[in-house]
């Protein structure tokens, strides 16, 4: 089992999944359209997520979390995203931060942050991307310079999820901007909000509404040296890179959830809507779409399960996680797109839910490594494992 996950009985896992399903159907699905269209942060849902234990879903039980396996966690994410993808970002980015602290943090850092994170009292995110550097993270320019017991941080981040409504982020910086290779000069900090940590603008987005994705600026922000993850400079890039597999399984689940939700909406509509004297699901053109959609949803679930099982067993899963993320996110785009066609003109109406899936889906192809980069990773890993 992976460090933080705990053996749960199949019965316990079923009970957890049932309680999430009840919450999704009772609270998330009915309110999704309101929060999405108003672009309003769902504070009430966040309080419910705390009660459900979602902020501690994958944090070890020793720290007050549920210690769920990534396999069960992925099923939770698929369920939430099948109703509305955006709220999964509130606990997803938070749990990636927690996972880095749990795996690489000092004992003092774990004791200080993980119990509060598990309760959702401290909610976080990940601060990697900068205006000039997304895929090429080693090109970041934010710098932290040691000054007594603190580091002084200057620079800017962009697109940082949970940064307006959260309490802090995992912050990737350069502690040695001249280092060669570049990654040796990179470090991660647990950056709590305080003077000099400025949320400078909320990004205006196509989809993924209601969730805060912001530009941040750091203007002589002082972070105590005790917040350097693991207590040693130069490890930040490797720490981020080793969290990518879990992050990719999570994004795959979000894409798969969008695909499943779009399929569910389209399946219902295709039986209710008639054209030329019969339900549109009886027209072969619509059947072909439904067949392709359901096959992709099921295939995405299998790829996610394969990657998650390997991750939970502490086996190497870089190829599997990349394939799951690539396929799951593309399945989300494909199914949302095809569902739009099945809904015909009504797909374009904001009175219907499907347009939200269409707007939300593309993001899953961008986050945690763009699908272009992921395809190159898949190919390289595949060749490396099949050398002649
Ligand atoms: C809504 C939203 C929320 C986000 N949340 C966060 C967050 O919480 N924290 C965070 O740190 N970031 C976040 N991001 C940023 C996201 O991770 C980046 O946008 C992503 O990594 C891509 O970086 P980029 O936008 O700079 O694109 P670029 O890296 O500039 O890429 C542009 C294009 O070039 C291609 N490309 C680049 N290099 C290569 C290569 N070597 N091979 C092939 N193709 C290549 C890419 O695939 C892409 O098609 C978020 C983004 C969005 C839109």
We report the CATH number of the domain holding residue 171 as 2.40.110.10
Cα distance between residue 71 and residue 321, in whole Å: 12
Can you give the pTM of this predicted structure?
A: 0.97
* DSSP secondary structure, 236-294, as one string: HHHHHHHTHHHHHHHHHHHHHHHHHHHHHHHHHHHHH-EETTEEGGGSHHHHHHHHHHH
Indicate the residue among 233, 259, 285 that finishes a domain: 233
CA 9 – ligand 1 centroid, Å: 39
Q: Is the pLDDT of residue 2 over 90?
A: no
Question: Does 122 have pLDDT greater than 90?
Answer: yes
| pLDDT digit string, tens, across residues 275-292 | 999 999 999 999 999 999
**Do 4 and 99 meet the contact criterion of CB atoms below 8 Å apart?**
yes
Q: What is the pLDDT of residue 7?
A: 79
The answer to whether position 3 is within a domain reads no
**What distance in angstroms lies between residue 71's CA and the mean position of ligand 1's atoms?**
26
Question: Is 368 an active-site residue?
Answer: yes
Distance 200 CA to ligand 1 centre (A): 20
Give the count of beta carbons closer than 10 Å to the beta carbon of residue 134: 18
Q: State the pLDDT at residue 1.
A: 55
Query: Residue 162 CA: which ligand 1 atom is closest?
Result: 8
Q: Please tell me the predicted confidence (pLDDT) of residue 158.
A: 98
Domain residue limits at 210 = 125-233
Give strand pairing partners of 214.
160, 202
- Average pLDDT (189-197) is 98
387 occurs within a structural domain: no
Q: What letter would DSSP give residue 130? A: B
User: Considering the chain, what percentage of its residues have pLDDT values greater than 70?
Assistant: 98
- Check which CATH number belongs to the domain holding 30 and give it: 1.10.540.10
Number of domains in the chain: 3
pLDDT for 235 equals: 98
Whether 125 lines ligand 1, by a CB cut-off of 6 Å, is yes
Rg, C-alpha atoms of the chain: 21
Closest among 160, 150, 201, 132 to 142, alpha carbons compared: 132
Indicate whether residue 220 lines ligand 1 (CB < 6 A). no
pLDDT band at 73 (very low <50, low <70, confident <90, very high): very high
Strands 143-147 and 150-161: antiparallel
Alpha-carbon span 19 to 27, nearest angstrom: 12
């Amino acid at each position: 089992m992976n460090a933080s996950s705990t053996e749960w009985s199949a019965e316990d896992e079923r009970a957890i999944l049932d309680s999430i399903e009840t919450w999704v159907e009772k609270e998330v699905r009915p309110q999704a359209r309101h929060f999405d269209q108003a672009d309003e942060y769902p504070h009430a849902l966040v309080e419910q997520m705390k009660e459900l234990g979602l902020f501690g879903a994958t944090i070890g039980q020793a720290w007050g979390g549920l210690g769920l396996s990534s396999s069960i966690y992925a099923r939770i994410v698929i369920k939430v995203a099948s109703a509305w993808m955006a709220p999964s970002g509130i606990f997803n980015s938070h749990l990636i931060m927690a996972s880095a602290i749990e795996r690489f943090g000092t004992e003092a850092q774990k004791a200080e942050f993980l119990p509060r994170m598990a309760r959702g009292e401290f909610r976080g995110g990940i601060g990697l991307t900068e205006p000039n550097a997304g895929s090429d993270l080693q090109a970041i320019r934010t710098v932290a310079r040691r000054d007594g017991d603190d580091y002084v941080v200057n620079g800017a981040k962009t697109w940082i999820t949970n940064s307006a409504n959260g309490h802090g982020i995992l912050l990737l910086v350069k502690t040695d901007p001249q280092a060669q290779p570049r990654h040796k000069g990179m470090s991660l900090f647990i950056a709590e909000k305080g003077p000099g940590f400025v949320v400078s603008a909320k990004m205006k987005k196509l989809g993924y509404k209601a969730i805060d994705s912001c530009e941040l600026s750091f203007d002589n922000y002082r972070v105590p040296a005790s917040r350097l993850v693991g207590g040693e400079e130069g490890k930040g890039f490797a720490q981020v890179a080793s969290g990518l597999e879990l992050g990719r399984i999570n994004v795959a689940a979000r894409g798969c959830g969008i695909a499943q939700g779009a399929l569910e909406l389209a399946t219902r509509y295709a039986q209710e809507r008639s054209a030329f004297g019969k339900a549109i699901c009886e027209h072969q053109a619509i059947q072909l779409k439904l067949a392709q959609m359901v096959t992709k949803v099921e295939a995405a679930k299998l790829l996610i399960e394969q990657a998650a099982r390997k991750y939970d067993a502490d086996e190497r899963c870089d190829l599997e996680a990349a394939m799951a993320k690539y396929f799951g996110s593309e399945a989300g785009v494909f199914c949302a797109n095809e569902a739009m066609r099945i809904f015909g003109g009504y797909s374009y109406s904001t009175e219907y839910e499907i347009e939200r899936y269409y707007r939300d889906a593309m993001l899953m192809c961008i986050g945690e490594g763009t699908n272009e980069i992921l395809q190159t990773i898949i190919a390289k890993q595949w060749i490396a494992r099949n050398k002649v």
